[in-house]
Amino acid sequence: MNKDIFLTNSLGNKKEKFIPIDENNVGMYVCGPTVYDDPHIGNARPLVVFDILFKVLKCKYGNKSVSYIRNITDVDDKIIQSSNEKKISIEELTKKVTINYHSDCDYLKCDKPNKEPKATEHISLMVKMAEDLIKKKYAYVNKNHVYFEVKKFKDYGKLSNKNLEELIAGSRVEISENKKNPEDFVLWKPSKNNEPSWESPWGKGRPGWHLECSVMSKKYLGIKFDIHGGGRDLIFPHHENEIAQSRCANDTDKFANYWVHNGFITISNEKMAKSQGNILKINDFKKKINGQVLRLALISSHYKQPLDWNDKLINDCQKILNKWYECHVEVNKKVLIPEDSLSPLYEDLNTPGYIANIHKLYDKAYNGSVKDKQIFTTACNFIGLLTDSKDKWLNFKKEKSNISEKEILLKIEERDKARKNKDYKLSDKIRDELINKGVLIEDKDGKTTWKIK
């Protein structure tokens, strides 16, 4: 497709035409998980958003011309705390959570990134970058700690579009008597007893969180690359700190050319937080609904906007996919998606616009030719939907319907009474409840029949 890609660049907060540094080597780095606990639905949003951006970039520039790097943070304060609470080793914890994370990625129908580097595999490069920053007078050592001196970097705060005072006032800055200034952030720190540690010029210790992404993006994409992505919560301090240390260590005027950030997820209009007790793990959904339902829900609003997670959203997405699977066909040859249908994704990943176009393709396919159905199925496949066979989808629904024959008959009886009383609103509601549980009902000759769909 010859159409240009446009993305909202958080650095400047405006939509810009995407111009890669090298069309034959497009690079995207996205902050991955800190593997201290199983991923929740908030973690799922960037997984799916950047998976779709990955697909769009490959569509535009070719599969072999795009490198998608997504790291795994496997050394961190949260990991140490979680391993102590669970009374298991850090190695056992990070291995288990990483396996579950990959299972969640598969469940959400996400493509694998080109590389998935782990922090612990790049410690020597982090030590080297900290040494370079000290030599260049951007960092200092105090009591076996290494700190980046923020005031030495004049562009600090440009990504957040805030000055230093505003950033400090609006965040929890780590207080330490070892720092020259409150805003300075740690590059290396000593490890306590029984904590992971590595040798360094400053004694045994471990890296600060921000350093790993600067090091791994440099190793796999170079000192300048195209796109850096993540959730909005990472803009400050994580991404601000990445920019500062990378540009200073590498003597560059840019780190990443485009910064793309997805919005937050709320749960029934409340912020999702451990303290609120409303953390929804991806794993909690696996026994109930197909991962494609979650995927459709996650892209139902524009990636920049907040997304409220509630039962209605899930039920609506389940119904849409039930309907779409009616037109699902196997596609055994290359079928092109019409450019006008695909174009919303090139306009700042407008997934709601693309979904609206899929609805139009469905309407055409419903009573259309096999080719119409293939185009419709291919358009769904492009964003990771309708990827199962129709039989697999229906069998999953049947297995997860969790409704007995007795319950079905009682619901039908309740619906018959509602229809006799001309309470069509209740009648339709009961019918929709049954459909949502995978039960298809049909009224014929005054009788209602049913079957598991």
Is 240 within 8 Å of 157 (Cβ atoms)? yes
Q: How far apart are the first and last CA of the chain?
A: 38
Q: Rounded CA gap, 253 and 246, in Å?
A: 10
Q: Does residue 248 carry a pLDDT above 60?
A: yes
pLDDT of amino acid 215: 98
pLDDT of amino acid 398: 60
376 band by pLDDT with thresholds 50, 70 and 90: very high
Q: How many residues would you count in the chain?
A: 453
* Domain residue limits, the chain: 19-265, 312-391, 401-452
The angle at the Cα of 276, spanning 275 to 278, to the nearest 5 degrees, equals 120
172 band by pLDDT with thresholds 50, 70 and 90: low
User: 30 forms bridges with which residues in the sheet?
Assistant: 70, 229
273 band by pLDDT with thresholds 50, 70 and 90: low
pLDDT of amino acid 272: 73
pLDDT of amino acid 81: 96
* Average pLDDT score over the chain: 92
Q: For the ranges 95-104, 147-156, 237-246, 420-429, which has the lowest average pLDDT?
A: 420-429
> How do beta strands 26-30 and 225-231 pair?
parallel
Sheet with strand 139-142: strands edge to edge: 139-142, 145-148, 185-190, 205-207
Q: Does residue 400 carry a pLDDT above 70?
A: no
* Same fold: 19-265 with 312-391: no
Which one has a higher pLDDT value, 303 or 407?
303
Place of tokens 């049954």: 434
pLDDT tens profile 116-148: 999 999 999 999 999 999 999 999 999 999 999
Q: Rounded CA gap, 120 and 95, in Å?
A: 12
Which one has a higher pLDDT value, 412 or 301?
301
pLDDT tens profile 335-361: 999 999 999 999 999 999 999 999 999
Q: Rounded CA gap, 138 and 164, in Å?
A: 17
Which one has a higher pLDDT value, 126 or 170?
126
Fold assignment, 312-391? Four Helix Bundle (Hemerythrin (Met), subunit A) (1.20.120)
Is 157 within 8 Å of 164 (Cβ atoms)? yes
Considering the domain delimited by 19-265, tell me its CATH architecture: 3-Layer(aba) Sandwich (3.40)
Which one has a higher pLDDT value, 183 or 398?
183
pLDDT of amino acid 288: 83
pLDDT of amino acid 165: 82
pLDDT of amino acid 368: 95
Is 189 within 8 Å of 75 (Cβ atoms)? no
Is 229 within 8 Å of 31 (Cβ atoms)? yes
Which one has a higher pLDDT value, 416 or 225?
225
Phi/psi for 121 (5° steps) reads -90, 0
Sign of CA dihedral 55, 58, 59, 63: negative
pLDDT tens profile 3-53: 999 999 999 999 999 999 999 999 999 999 999 999 999 999 999 999 999
The average pLDDT across 439-453 equals: 74
